[in-house]
């Protein structure tokens, strides 16, 4: 993080020197300095079943969300998919998230750990 901050505070001519020191292409160093972050896409997945889940991932800094069973195992997959897309797009608008979250029907139902036979569990829980 300190190196990103250092690059972000440099003048353009200093970025040429930094690129040489880092043995990295100047255009990449310039992009990193401008954005203040590495140009790596951060996608999130797993456990995202509601528009609020998707919006929260975006608020936490994700560039996008993958949703599979959270949509397809829900009561109304097409409507839920659209709502999650809207929540991802308008993640910083709580009114929009509330609006698209209404009337979606049943969300994906999880599996109760007690219903999984003990030999098939990855780990025991509790004391």
Q: Report if residue 108 sits inside a domain.
A: no
Residues spanned by the domain of 14: 2-35
pLDDT at 124 over 80: no
Spell out the residues 6+ positions from residue 20 whose beta carbon is closer than 8 angstroms to its own: none
Q: In terms of domains, do 28 and 47 share one?
A: no
Q: In terms of domains, do 48 and 19 share one?
A: no
Q: Report if residue 120 sits inside a domain.
A: no
Q: In terms of domains, do 71 and 21 share one?
A: no
Q: Report if residue 96 sits inside a domain.
A: yes
Tens digits of residue pLDDT in 92-120: 999 999 999 999 988 887 778 888 888 88
Mean residue pLDDT of the chain comes to: 90
Per the CB < 8 A criterion, the answer to whether 66 and 44 are in contact is yes
Q: Report if residue 11 sits inside a domain.
A: yes
Phi, psi of 78 (to 5 degrees): -65, -45
pLDDT given for residue 82 in this prediction: 95
The number of distinct structural domains making up the chain is: 2
Q: Is the model's pTM score more than 0.75?
A: no
């Amino acid at each position: 993080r300190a190196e990103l901050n250092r690059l972000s505070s440099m003048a353009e001519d200093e970025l040429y020197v930094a690129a040489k020191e880092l043995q990295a292409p100047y255009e990449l160093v310039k992009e990193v300095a401008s954005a203040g972050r590495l140009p790596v896409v951060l996608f999130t997945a797993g456990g995202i079943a509601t528009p609020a889940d998707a919006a929260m991932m975006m608020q936490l800094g994700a560039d996008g969300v993958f949703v599979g069973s959270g949509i397809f195992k829900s009561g109304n997959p097409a409507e839920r998919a659209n709502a999650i897309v809207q929540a991802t797009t308008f993640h910083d608008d709580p009114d929009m998230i509330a609006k698209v979250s209404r009337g979606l029907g049943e969300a994906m139902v999880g599996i109760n750990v007690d219903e999984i036979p003990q030999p098939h569990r990855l780990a025991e829980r509790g004391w």
